[in-house]
Amino acid sequence: MAYVIIGASGGLGRALADRLAADGRKLVLVARDPDALSALAGALRDRHGVEAATVAADVAQGAGYLDEVARTARAAGGIEGLLMPIGFAVRDGIGTTPETMRELGGVNFFAPAEAVAKLWPDLVAGGATIVGFGSITAARGRGRNFVYGAMKRALLSYFESLRLAARGTPVKVQFWVLGFLDTDVMKTEKTPLPKGDPRQLADRVVSRMGRDTGITYFPGWWKWITLALRLLPWAIYTRIGGRG
């Protein structure tokens, strides 16, 4: 059986693929850039002797690619895990164009939800673990990038509901709320708190496959920061936390 990684060419996606390949798992890798996918598959073959299948697709353009994903995974014996480290962010706000809003929604919310819906029969048949990834930006309203934050909050709500809906099936559901990660995109970005290591996160995710763990924060101390932000009175929050 195979592990499907949608968003495989990003920093966390690569770390997950490498960690699973180290265990000898079959992989179906999905990302927009076919060259990046080919390079990743080659690196996994050289490093771990694993042949990874690839599907090049822009998830923002709809769910049509999922037919190929399903066929590829079935050829590998079915789906044992569906991991979706998908994300797209730009500076957004009140004046964000409708096109950008649709892209933010398409990648950050609709793509994971569509994948679950389309692949659900295969996920049930394989007793798969579904893993989604959110962001601490969804903790509370923000003065900027709030379209992105809203989509990540919607995704968290979706995964909570999915976990309830999956009761009575062999499917397990996990959702990771992420702080800053030390990926290629964030290498030069200054952050107010330390960045987490995507390889360490990948280790934790893979070690919990097959378990229904619900919502987990990474790094773990973000759980308490998020709780504190939610409990702050509005007048205080707008002064110290609601502008960024």
Residue 12 host element (H or E) = helix 11-22
CB atoms within 10 A of CB 171: 22
Residue 181's DSSP bridge partners are 196
CA–centroid distance for 103 within its chain: 16
Instruction: Output the six-digit token pair for 136.
Output: 């601490």
- Determine the pLDDT at residue 237: 86
Domain count across the chain: 1
pLDDT tier at 241, thresholds 50, 70, 90 = low
CATH of the domain at 73: 3.40.50.720
- The DSSP symbol for 4 reads E
Q: Which residue from 85, 119, 117, 89 is spatially nearest to 103, judged by alpha carbons? A: 89
Q: Which residue from 217, 240, 238 is spatially nearest to 227, judged by alpha carbons? A: 217
Instruction: Output the six-digit token pair for 42.
Output: 């080659």
Cα separation, 132 vs 29, whole angstroms: 16
- pLDDT tens for 53-88 read 999 999 999 999 999 999 999 999 999 999 999 998
List the end-to-end C-alpha distance of the chain, in Å, as a whole number.
43
**Long-range own/partner contacts, residues 166-169 (CB < 8 A, 24 or more apart):** 166/130, 166/212, 169/124
pTM: 0.93
- pLDDT tens for 149-180 read 999 999 999 999 999 999 999 999 999 999 98
Are 8 and 37 in contact by the 8 Å Cβ rule? The answer is yes
- pLDDT tens for 114-145 read 999 999 999 999 999 999 999 998 988 888 88
What does each C-alpha distance from 197 to 37, 192, 202, 207, 219 come to in angstroms? 22, 16, 9, 16, 9
Choose the weakest-confidence range: 99-113, 131-145, 212-226: 131-145
Are 175 and 129 in contact by the 8 Å Cβ rule? The answer is no
- Residue 220: give the domain boundaries: 2-240
